[in-house]
Structure 1
Amino acid sequence: MSTIHVGIIGVGRIGHVHYLNLSQMPNVSIDYMCDLLADDSWADKYPAGGRFVTDYHEILADPAIDAVLICVPTDLHPQVIIDAAEAGKHIFCEKPVGFDNDQILAAYHAVKKAGVYFQTGFNRRQEKNFRRIVEARDAGQLGKPEVLKVTSRDPEPPSYDYVKRSGGLFKDMMIHDFDIVRFISGEEVRTVRAMGAALVDPHVGELGDVDTAIVTLEFASGMLGVIDNSRRAAYGYDQRIELFGSKGVAVCGNNHESETVVATADGVRRDLPLHFFLERYKEAYRLETEKFFDVVANGGEIECTFEDGIKAVRLAEAALESLNNGGAAVEVKPIE
Structure 2
Amino acid sequence: MLRVGLLGAGRIGNVHAKAISTHPQSKLIAVADVVKESASKLAAQYGVEARSNEAIIGDAAIDAILIATSTNTHSDLIEAVTKAGKAVLCEKPVDLSLARAQACRKAAAATKRPVMIGFNRRFDPNFAALKAAVDRGEIGKSELLSITSFDPAPPPVSYVKVSGGLFRDMMIHDFDMACWMMGSLPQKVTAIGTSIVDPEIGKAGDFDTAVVTLGFADGRIAVIKNSRRAAYGYDQRIEFLGSEGLLSAGNVLENTVSKATKAGVVSAKPEYFFLERYTRAYSAEWAAFVEAVTSASAVPVTLDDGVNALAIAEAATLSAKSGTTVDLASVMK
TM-score range, shorter chain: over 0.9
Deviation at 1:292, TM superposition (A): 0.4
Aligned 8 A contact 1:274 1:280 in 2:
yes
Residues 215-270 of structure 1, C-alpha deviations (whole Å, 9 max, x = no match): 11111211012101000000000011000011011011111022232110222110
Task: Give the match's secondary structure for 1:289.
Answer: helix
The alignment partner of 1:232 has SS state of coil
Shift, 1:5, TM fit: 1.0
Q: Which amino acid letter does the alignment assign opposite residue 183 of structure 2?
A: G
Pair 1:4-2:33 in alignment: no
3-state secondary structure, aligned to 1:47: helix
Amino acid of the structure 1 residue aligned with 2:326: V
C-alpha distance 14-80 of structure 1, shift in aligned 2 (>3 A): same
Does the 8 Å CA contact 1:147/1:245 hold for their aligned counterparts?
A: yes
**Structure that is richer in helix per residue:** 2
Structure 1 residue runs of 5 or longer lacking an equivalent are none
The answer on whether the counterparts of 1:154 and 1:276 sit within 8 Å (CA) in structure 2 is: yes
Match of 1:91 in 2: 88
**What is the CA–CA distance in structure 2 between the aligned matches of 1:170 and 1:44, rounded to whole Å?**
31
What residue in structure 1 maps to residue 34 of structure 2?
36
- 1:321 alignment partner in structure 2: 318
Distance in 2 separating the partners of 1:198 and 1:298: 47
Q: How does 1:100-139 map to 2 (within 5 A)?
A: 100-139=97-136
1:96, 1:309 within 8 Å by CA — same for their partners in 2? yes
SS in structure 1 of the partner of residue 205 of structure 2? coil
Please tell me whether residue 217 in structure 1 is matched to residue 214 in structure 2. yes
The aligned residue for residue 327 of structure 2 is 331
| Residues 114 and 257 (structure 1), Cα distance of their counterparts in 2 relative to 1, 3 Å cut | same
SS at match of 2:315: helix
- 1:311 is matched with 308
Change (3 A) 1:39 1:210: closer
In the alignment, what sits opposite 2:279?
282
State how 1:226-265 maps to structure 2 within 5 Å: 226-265=223-262
Letter in 2 for 1:210: F
RMSD of aligned Cα (Å) = 1.5
Query: Scaled by the length of structure 2, what TM-score is found?
Result: 0.96
| SS in structure 2 of the partner of residue 23 of structure 1 | helix
- In 2, are the aligned partners of 1:130 and 1:184 still within 8 Å (CA)? no
Amino acid at match of 1:331: D
Distance 2:200 2:84 in 1: 43
Instruction: Check if 1:47 corresponds to 2:42.
Output: no
Query: How many Å separate the matches in 1 of 2:120 and 2:281?
Result: 5
Match of residue 71 from structure 2:
74
Task: Kindly indicate whether residue 45 of structure 2 is the aligned counterpart of residue 22 of structure 1.
Answer: no
- 1:264-308 Cα deviation digits (max 9, x unpaired): 022211001110111111000011011101111111111100000
SS in 1 for 2:322: coil
Q: Please give the secondary structure, in 2, of the residue aligned with 1:93.
A: strand
Change (3 A) 1:49 1:14: farther
Q: How many residues are paired up?
A: 332
2:61 aligned partner: 64
Segments of 4+ moved more than 3 angstroms: 43-47
Structure 2 vs 1, CA of residues 193 and 40 (structure 1 numbering), >3 Å: closer, same or farther? closer
Q: Secondary structure at the match of 1:324?
A: helix
Mapping for residues 131-280 of structure 1, pairs under 5 Å: 131-280=128-277
Gaps of 5+ in 2: none
SS in 1 for 2:46: coil
